[in-house]
Amino acid sequence: MSEDSRPKIVRYREARSLIADGDLLLYRRRSLISIAGRGRHSHAAKAAWWEGDLFCLEIRGLIGGRAVTLSSQVRRCPGRIDVYGANPDGRWPQYDRAGASRFMRRLAGCDYGYRGLISAALLHLPVVRWFVRANMDDEAADRRPPFCSHACAMADRVGGGVDPVKHLADRLTEPADLARSPFYRYRFTLMPDSGQEVSQ
């Protein structure tokens, strides 16, 4: 979805069956992350089905890795969760949706990667950009816990078999990078079913 386009609003009940394992969930909110990342999104997560229930798999600040129902998140963030289909038109036949979801699910309980997030954000500072090049090596050892978009990129690359953001290391990937990737395509924005909104 481009910065100037209007979101396609869909009620959760109608959208639920259209969301597949491994689809990307990007949260819209103006924050330091979205401003520094040159985009409208401040958080990234993945969708996953378990025994008929649709979950949101995420690495959240102050919480870490977790799995929560997507419906609960839609109620908490009405009109702010954009669904991006992974592997539009099946262009990457080797993509393993179940593997990507399994990888992300196994991050439940991990810590949030604050140091990694700060490292990625520092690359946007003009002085730092002049002297430091972004690392493109996904294989370089990084023992720090992941942050949200880092985890999503890693899940698709390691678990799913497709690097969604070529020429950028997973640990430097931000929500805006995922939104621009050809591996994902915007589908719609989720709204709670009528009367289900929860104010924050």
Q: What is the pLDDT of residues 107-117, one digit of tens each?
A: 999 999 887 77
Question: What is the model's pLDDT at position 34?
Answer: 42
- pTM for this structure? 0.86
Confidence tier at 64 by pLDDT (50, 70, 90): very high
Instruction: Report yes or no: 82 and 186 within 8 Å, Cβ to Cβ.
Output: yes
Cα angle for residues 111, 113, 117 (degrees, 5° grid): 160
Q: Rounded CA gap, 71 and 34, in Å?
A: 23
In a domain, 197, yes or no: no
In a domain, 196, yes or no: no
Q: Span 140-160, mean pLDDT?
A: 88
In a domain, 2, yes or no: no
Confidence tier at 128 by pLDDT (50, 70, 90): very low
Q: What is the pLDDT of residues 75-89, one digit of tens each?
A: 999 999 999 999 999
In a domain, 199, yes or no: no
CATH of the domain at 174: 3.90.1720.10
Q: Rounded CA gap, 144 and 113, in Å?
A: 6
In a domain, 4, yes or no: no
Q: What is the pLDDT of residues 3-42, one digit of tens each?
A: 557 899 999 999 999 999 999 999 997 655 445 556 889 9
Confidence tier at 200 by pLDDT (50, 70, 90): very low
Counting the structural domains of the chain, the total is: 1
In a domain, 185, yes or no: yes
In a domain, 54, yes or no: yes
Q: Span 61-67, mean pLDDT?
A: 95
Coil, strand or helix: which one is 9? strand
Query: What is the DSSP code string of 25-45?
Result: EEEE--SHHHHHTTSSEEEEE
Residue 17 is which amino acid?
S
Question: What is the model's pLDDT at position 134?
Answer: 53
Domain housing 97: 9-191
